[in-house]
Structure 1
Amino acid sequence: MTDTRLLVVDDSALMRKLLVEIFSGHGFEVALARSGTEALAMLGTFLPDVVTLDVHMPDMDGLACLDRIMVEHPCPVVMVSALTAEGADETLEALSLGAVDFIAKPSGPISLEIDRIAEALVEKVRMAAGARIPRSRRLTERVRARISRVADQPRARSAGKKQRLAGDPLTGVAAVLVGVSTGGPPALDALLQPLPADFPWPIVIAQHMPASFTGALARRLDRQCALSVREVSAATSLEPGTAYIGRGDADLIMSRRFGDVVALSAPARADLPWHPSADRLVDSACEVIGAEALVGVLMTGMGTDGARAMARMRQQGGHVIAQDAETAVVWGMPGALVAMDGADLVLPLESIAGQLCDWART
């Protein structure tokens, strides 16, 4: 079996040394570049399967280098980012430019902290190497260009025996629940931007992401969308025309306060591997609201988070959409849902907003 070819781009000699030790020990063929300029020169000769790219470098920063990679030699890129407000904004910009995922830099001494995150680093980079870059690159721009044609395209194929007509309006819906992970920020942009400000249902989102990033993501989407987009950090009543993003490193759950349904941030449950957990969000919503009053959307991401809970929600009368394999960066979460026969419809990303609007029609 051919080793995965990894290009590590970082101006820190120590970081390069530590990363090459980690990845070489896990069967990667590793090449090193000290700058963005050097990395671009190596792309055509080394032909990497995946690149790790530091954001801050002299000569050419990571964002400029990423932009060139996506144009000149499209391949999966994982950014190396600081867990700071500035780092969050830069990382979200990198994801919109086509990066598959990001690695959080160790917060303490690199040589002491790197072993703690080594397993997660290898998992993310190995997953990124198999990501669908040609379909996900410049995803937001591609979707925007196609939105005007969504209504004229076939909306879905059946995902099971209980296919509902794509255009049938739904009544009695209390909320839309969204689970998403790797590839999520541009996918959320593509999902939320087409929705009108008067969209009648609140949208509650579990996006796997650190706490320092989810606020920046909510602010970015709020600027770009007609909907209001907020991060949930305290008990928040749900309103139509609003999307709620769970605070990172915690779980987002539904509850009742004084008779009203609220979304709130809860300590992450240790037995669940991903946070905010889509499974926990859906389970809590079914308990508080009832499955028959919920619409679920499971989008791009590695792993299986959300699949079990949304499949059960559908069995109990809810309505569920899975993003298709062709438009997902990683078809782990929606793929697991489809394998469980847990989705009514399997849709390309650019058709999901139109489907929600069809279901919301009065």
Structure 2
Amino acid sequence: MFLVFVQVIVVKYRIKVLIVDDSALMRKALREMIMTDEAFDVVGVARDGKDAIEKVKELKPDVITMDINMPEMDGLTSMQYILDDNPEIPVIIISSLTQDGALTTFEALALGAFDFVAKPSGTVSSNLYIVGREIIEKIKLAHKHANRKSLKKRVRTRSSFSETKASESREKSVAARNNELSKVVVIGVSTGGPGTLTEVLPMLQSDLKAALIVVQHMPPSFTSSFAKRLGKVCPFPFKEAEAGDVLTNGRGYLAPGGYQLLVHKAGRMLRLSTSPVTQFMPSVNVTMESVLRAYGGKNVVGVLMTGMGDDGADAMVKIREAGGVTIAEDESTAIVFGMPRAAIERGGAEIVVPSYRIADEIVRAVNHI
């Protein structure tokens, strides 16, 4: 009897990545960085937006990294063409840390980009390795969540609440506001947050009987522009928080990047601190716990939405145990079901709903407690 041994070789699938950047240095740096992880295969590079459209047709990538400022056709225009034909391909914007870069990045996110990574030192960053781990993690997340939900569909179903309506609501809100503070709502969000916030905030009441604090993981140079963007869609005044701001009903505050946003022990005044040092600054946990200490659980509503990791999950548990209301975004709408999942698994989420129901739950919680 002869025994025949058949060797079976299992080939692990590798995530196909297309790099789009007009700088040869950046294309080389990105390729070398991404290829350090055996999960990836850089199937090609494109020198501008027009070239990217052709390469997508030819190479069928799983994920695209897209520069914004390029000749021939910029990244924003190219992305729209690509997503129109291939809504299932996630695009990660590689943006410069400038005000113009921030504004264009937010526009890209609103049009369907999965997420962004900021270049550490301008359009051509020789020190791109600083954000290497972030790029690799976000490519993996983008691929993991790409087929679960079409980002194009998500963009089309976003709130149609116009900036004009938001402006009218703000005027009514200012006229009716006093200096009282009834409750404090703290929203924590990370990857996928900019688009989700532009869905949720417009659906809040203009006369919300609470102050709203938003903690979004974002580079320091981006939060000022992002606060202005949110201010255009929010039905009440919204700004980037500054030291000395006083929490007031019907006003919104965005935690600035690079600092921890805290409530002063003596009252409603906000303060900024460079400590404690955490992985993300601002940290959702740090801000939520500060608000909880200042006002007690019954006066706090904690909200966790899309984002990777578990920032905010422990604070949500503490808020719920102290008698506050806690709300987590459901997996059905979360771009990345990391932070909400952690809160749910630890028992920190009393209410779990899709993103389009979060505003109603916030209003209900504010009016009820």
TM-score range, shorter chain: 0.7 to 0.9
Cα distance in 1 for partners of 2:341, 2:183 equals 26
Cα distance in 1 for partners of 2:107, 2:124 equals 25
Specify the SS of the correspondent of 1:131: helix
Q: Which residue number corresponds to residue 351 of structure 1?
A: 357
Q: Which residue number corresponds to residue 9 of structure 1?
A: 20
Q: Which residue number corresponds to residue 172 of structure 2?
A: none
- 89 and 191 in structure 1: CA distance in 2 versus 1, 3 angstrom threshold: same
Contact 2:209–2:367 (8 Å) recurs in 1: no
- 231 and 254 in structure 1: CA distance in 2 versus 1, 3 angstrom threshold: same
Query: Aligned pair 1:84/2:98, yes or no?
Result: yes
Q: Over aligned residues, Cα RMSD in angstroms?
A: 2.1
Q: Which residue number corresponds to residue 237 of structure 1?
A: 246
Q: Deviations over 1:243-300 (max 9, x none)?
A: 110001111112234xx31222211532x21121000011111111112211011000
Contact 1:187–1:349 (8 Å) recurs in 2: yes
Q: Which residue number corresponds to residue 257 of structure 2?
A: 248
Q: Which residue number corresponds to residue 129 of structure 1?
A: 143
Moved more, 96-105 or 53-62: 96-105
Please list, as runs of the form range in 1=range in 2, the aligned pairs for 1:160-309 lying within 5 A after superposition: 174-257=183-266, 260-270=267-277, 272-309=278-315
Cα distance in 1 for partners of 2:257, 2:117 equals 15
Query: Aligned pair 1:143/2:158, yes or no?
Result: yes
Cα distance in 2 for partners of 1:43, 1:36 equals 11
- 263 and 136 in structure 1: CA distance in 2 versus 1, 3 angstrom threshold: farther
Among 45, 49, 57, the alignment partner of 2:58 is: 45
Query: Aligned pair 1:99/2:113, yes or no?
Result: yes
Identical positions, percent: 37
Specify the SS of the correspondent of 2:145: coil
Cα distance in 1 for partners of 2:272, 2:354 equals 30
- Which amino acid in 2 is paired with 1:58? P
Specify the SS of the correspondent of 1:107: coil
Specify the SS of the correspondent of 1:199: coil
What TM-score results when the alignment is normalised by the length of structure 1? 0.87
Q: Which runs of 5+ in 1 are unaligned?
A: 148-171
- Which amino acid in 1 is paired with 2:216? Q
Q: Which residue number corresponds to residue 9 of structure 2?
A: none
What TM-score results when the alignment is normalised by the length of structure 2? 0.86
- Which amino acid in 1 is paired with 2:69? H
How many residue pairs get aligned? The number is 335
- 253 and 273 in structure 1: CA distance in 2 versus 1, 3 angstrom threshold: same
Among 65, 71, 77, the alignment partner of 1:58 is: 71
Cα distance in 1 for partners of 2:251, 2:58 equals 48
Q: Which runs of 5+ in 2 are unaligned?
A: 1-11, 163-180
Cα distance in 1 for partners of 2:345, 2:182 equals 26
- 77 and 292 in structure 1: CA distance in 2 versus 1, 3 angstrom threshold: same
Query: Aligned pair 1:114/2:128, yes or no?
Result: yes
Q: Deviations over 1:16-36 (max 9, x none)?
A: 111111111212110211111
Structure 1 residue 42: deviation in Å? 2.1
Contact 1:139–1:186 (8 Å) recurs in 2: no
Structure 1 residue 141: deviation in Å? 4.4
- Which amino acid in 2 is paired with 1:212? S
Cα distance in 2 for partners of 1:127, 1:269 equals 28
- 361 and 285 in structure 1: CA distance in 2 versus 1, 3 angstrom threshold: closer
Moved more, 234-243 or 174-183: 234-243
Specify the SS of the correspondent of 2:253: strand
- Which amino acid in 2 is paired with 1:34? R
Structure 1 residue 235: deviation in Å? 2.2
Structure 1 residue 86: deviation in Å? 0.6
Structure 1 residue 129: deviation in Å? 2.0
Cα distance in 2 for partners of 1:135, 1:227 equals 31
Cα distance in 1 for partners of 2:279, 2:215 equals 13
Bigger Cα Rg: 2
Q: Which residue number corresponds to residue 165 of structure 1?
A: none
